Amino acid sequence: MTNVTENATEPDFQDDGLEADHTEIAEERARRQRRALIATAAVVIGFAVMWIVATTMSGTIPSIFASVLRSAIEPQTAAVAIAVIGLNIHFGFTGLLNIGQAGFMLLGAYGFAIAITRDVPLLFAVLIGLAAASAFALLLGLPTLKLRGDYLAIVTISAAEIIRYVGRLSQLTPVTGGSQGLPGSQYRDPFVNLSFFGDGTTTIGPFSYQNTGVNGWWIRFVAWLLVGICCVLVYFLVRSPWGRLLRGIREDEEAMRSLGKNVFAVKMQALVIGGALGALGGIMYVLPSSVQADSMGRTLTFFIWTALLLGGAATIFGPVLGTILFFSVRILIRGITGAVVPPEILNTQQSDQFSWVVVGVILMLLVIFRPQGILGNKRELQFNA
Amino acid sequence: MPESITRSPNAVDNPYADPAARRALTDGIAAEPGVAKPDPILVVDNIVRKFGGMTAVDVDHLEVQKGIITALIGPNGAGKTTFFNLITGFDRPTSAPTRFKRPENAATWSFEGSELGSTSASNVARAGMVRTFQLTKSLNRMTVMENMMLGAREQSGENLLTCWLRPTWAKEEREAEAKAKELLARFKLLRKKDDYAGSLSGGQRKLLEMARALMTDPTMIMLDEPMAGVNPALTQSLLGHIQSLRDEGTTVLFVEHDMHMVRHISDWVVVMAEGRVIAEGRAEVVMSDPAVIDAYLGAHHDTDLGDETLQEDTVAPQPTSEENPT
């Protein structure tokens, strides 16, 4: 390799039009970054306005805004964001169609919670949760990753359902709690006891939570810290030659094979990493509530997919932005519907359902008019692979 | 055309760089199907591939001589591409031995003396036998440069455990990038290096694929219709590149329908028809073989093809070129 660079005479760079092309490409890139920045800024400003309204005024609208802001920083929003980051490794970068991300979450949650109830230390319990999801990924990947992508989709969606049904089995009630699930009080304590936030309640703007508590500042702090760590992790992974392999596999596996790359091993690595992130999300998801098989079923998988497409697949920050928007915009729609439409036409329950309908319509519009999501790169989606 | 061509680290001084030496070599080989070569790089035996009841490939014995350019020609459906797929590990011969059963006349094929029978496509490529595809496989939603970088071999940055430590692979990356730029300059793609591969024309993708294959420093490169869709002027310079590859020691095996090209650059020609090797020999010998004329060239092939005076006429229509919309 070394003598290549030393002996190489400068190749012919004086190709006409080279300069022009470069500035054009640089401009295009700058424009894209600007657009992403504007989108992010718009979201941030929107939240800031809501914050000001919620804290300075009183009435229905400010209280709706307050609940929107609260749902945006909810620990479960962070938990789903982590799972979306995992799915982004699968789908966004590697092109693996995993339609069972909630299954990975559920498995992680079960592994963690059951280990804690058996008096396993916290750290090991988390590792058991991650290991369970990794083993699940290996199991699903071994037979399917050599086949065409569709098969992984079929297998993951059904395997996730199998996990859910097994978890609900009444015969397993002593272990998984059956359909009742495991209440949070059985496994939450080691995590809550780690808190150095102390007792009492802190109020910041519209947010007023216990410092530690079951669902307070401590879990929010840890959950969003983990989201940040996961983003950094993914950044380092996908900017490396390994990340380039992932995108190469997304584009054409056979071409990668013809270049001597071990496609199967790389796909397996991606599946395991994304699945483990899903499990981590699952653990965070159940910490403030309880492990219930039915709360992590197909619906959650589809939320995860929606959040990914909304934020922009194959981007670093898209999954996080997408998840926050997905959960907060729905609360906003529900609140406004409830406030504007008289209860004779839509009662509270119906306006909740209506909000899902609107979310669905928004998703359709998004896929038609901005298929790359908010932060995504349209040119990465433009060409038919 | 820049003559400062990247010499791959495994480039050797090829004794067959000298035309007289090639002439002497090919004179010494009988022009008959399945003939033995003095120094074969690839030896295949009993390769049979059946699709249902149809036998696509049935090659008893074939040797590819090291250090020269071998052309594989034949009519459509002769099994040339299937043959490529079989020996590069993208497909398995029907006659290949399985773990439980070793059929009589089991398929065996070896590259540089090592058996390839149960080697995966990626391992075949790593062993040094790299191919391109008839239907170009450029990685469309990645830039041209990223496409090239994927070709580089043994990158420590492709290891999951160390990939997040940039210093461990930054140097390799710079070296690979310098090499990629040189190859791109050679194939007139340098100014496109930051474009998405999907925005290139069909012919340019073909060039990109060839350049990417060269990034792997192959000992033997297998080109499946390299000239289809490439404009005549570029075809000329590509022929030069392929010849200089040979002169640096890379063995070339290519499938092509353009008889100009076959006649112009190939040192040895293998003709396939209906899955079998029907003739072998130097281009002029093979092209006057009645069996080849009958099966492939047609009786009037000499009137508009293969004429030496036409070789300069680069705007002559190429019968096999695909028209590319871009």
- Residues B129 and B41 grouped into a single domain: yes
CB spacing of A382 vs B191 below 8 angstroms: no
CB spacing of A242 vs B160 below 8 angstroms: yes
Q: What's the structural domain count of chain B?
A: 2
With a cut of 90, say whether residue A230 has pLDDT above it: yes
How far, rounded to the nearest angstrom, does the alpha carbon of residue A139 sit from its chain's CA centroid?
22
% pLDDT > 70, chain A: 91
Burial of B107 (0-12, 13-18, 19+ CB in 10 A): buried
pLDDT band at A118 (very low <50, low <70, confident <90, very high): very high
CA-nearest of B70, B64, B67, B65 to B11 is: B67
Domain residue ranges of chain A, discontinuous segments joined by +: 42-49+57-199+206-378
Q: What is the DSSP string of A145-182?
A: TTS-HHHHHHHHHHHHHHHHHHHH-GGGHHHH-GGG-B
- Residues B229 and B243 grouped into a single domain: yes
Pick the residue of B150, B162, B186, B210 with the most A CBs within 10 A to test the interface with A by mutation. B150
The pTM score is: 0.86
Q: Kindly report, residue by residue over A329-339, the tens digit of the pLDDT.
A: 999 999 999 88
* pLDDT score at B321: 45
Q: Kindly report, residue by residue over A158-217, the tens digit of the pLDDT.
A: 999 999 999 999 999 898 888 889 999 999 999 999 988 888 888 888 888 988 888 899
Is B211 part of any domain?
A: no
Distance CA A61, CA A69 (A): 12
- Residues B76 and B41 grouped into a single domain: yes
CB spacing of A11 vs B2 below 8 angstroms: yes
CA angle, residues B245, B247, B253, in degrees to nearest 5? 55
Residue B217: how many other CB atoms lie within 10 Å = 22
CB spacing of A257 vs B122 below 8 angstroms: yes
* pLDDT score at A16: 42
Question: Is residue B72 helix, strand or coil?
Answer: strand
Residues linked to residue B253 through DSSP beta bridges, in sequence order: B70, B222
* pLDDT score at A384: 45
- Residues B148 and B74 grouped into a single domain: no
- Residues B48 and B134 grouped into a single domain: yes
Q: Strands B129-131 and B69-73: what pairing?
A: unpaired
* pLDDT score at A380: 64
- Mean residue pLDDT across chain A: 87
- Residues B126 and B189 grouped into a single domain: no
Q: Please report the residues numbered 44 through 103 in chain B whose beta carbons come closer than 8 angstroms to any beta carbon of chain A.
A: 88-90
Is B47 part of any domain?
A: yes
- Residues B110 and B145 grouped into a single domain: no
Residue B192 half-sphere exposure toward CB, CA atoms < 13 A: 22
pLDDT band at A248 (very low <50, low <70, confident <90, very high): very high
Residue A146: how many other CB atoms lie within 10 Å = 12
With a cut of 70, say whether residue A8 has pLDDT above it: no
Question: Is residue B295 helix, strand or coil?
Answer: helix
CB spacing of B169 vs A241 below 8 angstroms: yes
| Mean pLDDT computed over A236-255 | 92
CA-nearest of A84, A78, A47 to A65 is: A47
Domain range holding B68? 17-138+218-306
Q: What are the chain A neighbours of B7 within 8 Å (beta carbons)?
A: 3-4, 7
* pLDDT score at B2: 41
Buried/exposed A350-363: b ≥16 CB within 10 Å, e otherwise: ebbebbeebbeebb
| Mean pLDDT computed over A367-378 | 81
CB spacing of B175 vs A2 below 8 angstroms: yes
Distance CA B189, CA B208 (A): 8
* pLDDT score at A48: 93
CB spacing of B141 vs A257 below 8 angstroms: no
Higher pLDDT, B153 or A17: B153
Residue A385: closest C-alpha in chain B: B140
- Residues B278 and B175 grouped into a single domain: no
Q: What is the DSSP string of A313-338?
A: TT-SSHHHHHHHHHHHHHHHHHHHHH
- Please check whether residue B65 is in contact with residue B41, taking contact to mean a CB–CB distance below 8 angstroms: yes
Buried/exposed A262-293: b ≥16 CB within 10 Å, e otherwise: bbbebbbbbbbbbbbbbbbbbbbbbbbbbbbb
The CATH number that applies at residue B298 is 3.40.50.300
Pick the range with the lowest mean pLDDT from A21-30, A236-245, A287-296, A312-321: A21-30
CA-nearest of A149, A147, A163, A144 to A100 is: A163
Is 3.90.1200 the CATH classification of the domain at A42-49+57-199+206-378?
no
| Mean pLDDT computed over A138-167 | 91
Query: Residue B29 has which token pair?
Result: 């080989």
Is B210 part of any domain?
A: no
Out of B9, B141, B182, closest to residue A3 by CB: B9
CA-nearest of A152, A148, A93, A78 to A274 is: A93
Distance CA A149, CA A140 (A): 12
pLDDT band at A25 (very low <50, low <70, confident <90, very high): low
Out of A2, A263, A269, closest to residue B122 by CB: A263
CA-nearest of B134, B78, B75 to B301 is: B75
Chain A closest-CA separation from residue B178 CA (Å): 7
pLDDT band at A381 (very low <50, low <70, confident <90, very high): low
Distance CA B131, CA B252 (A): 10
Name the DSSP class of B44: E
Domain boundary among B170, B199, B228: B199
- Residues B38 and B93 grouped into a single domain: yes
Helix boundaries (H) for chain B? 19-27, 80-87, 121-127, 144-151, 166-186, 202-214, 232-247, 259-265, 283-287, 290-292, 301-304
Question: Is residue B83 helix, strand or coil?
Answer: helix
* pLDDT score at A245: 93
Three-state SS across A78-104? HHHHHHHHHHHHHHHHHCCCCCCHHHH
* pLDDT score at A385: 37
% pLDDT > 90, chain A: 58
Over its length of 326 residues, how does chain B's per-residue pLDDT go in tens digits? 344 445 555 555 677 777 778 888 877 787 778 788 888 898 988 888 888 888 888 888 899 988 889 999 888 888 888 998 988 888 888 887 777 777 777 888 888 888 887 778 888 898 889 999 988 888 888 889 999 999 998 888 888 888 888 888 888 899 999 999 999 998 888 988 888 888 888 888 888 999 999 999 999 999 998 888 778 878 888 888 888 888 888 999 999 887 878 888 888 999 888 888 888 888 888 888 887 787 777 766 655 544 555 455 444 454 544 444 44
* pLDDT score at B326: 43
* pLDDT score at A21: 55
- Residues B92 and B176 grouped into a single domain: no
Q: What is the ipTM of this complex?
A: 0.82
Is B186 part of any domain?
A: yes
Chain A closest-CA separation from residue B157 CA (Å): 5
Distances (CA, A) of B45 to B103, B112, B301: 13, 15, 32
Question: Is residue B78 helix, strand or coil?
Answer: coil
CB spacing of B140 vs A251 below 8 angstroms: yes
Distance CA A86, CA A283 (A): 14
Higher pLDDT, A131 or B24: A131
Out of A3, A12, A251, closest to residue B2 by CB: A12
Is B168 part of any domain?
A: yes
Higher pLDDT, A10 or A27: A27
Q: Strands B251-255 and B69-73: what pairing?
A: parallel
* pLDDT score at B304: 54
- Residues B109 and B147 grouped into a single domain: no
- Residues B129 and B163 grouped into a single domain: no
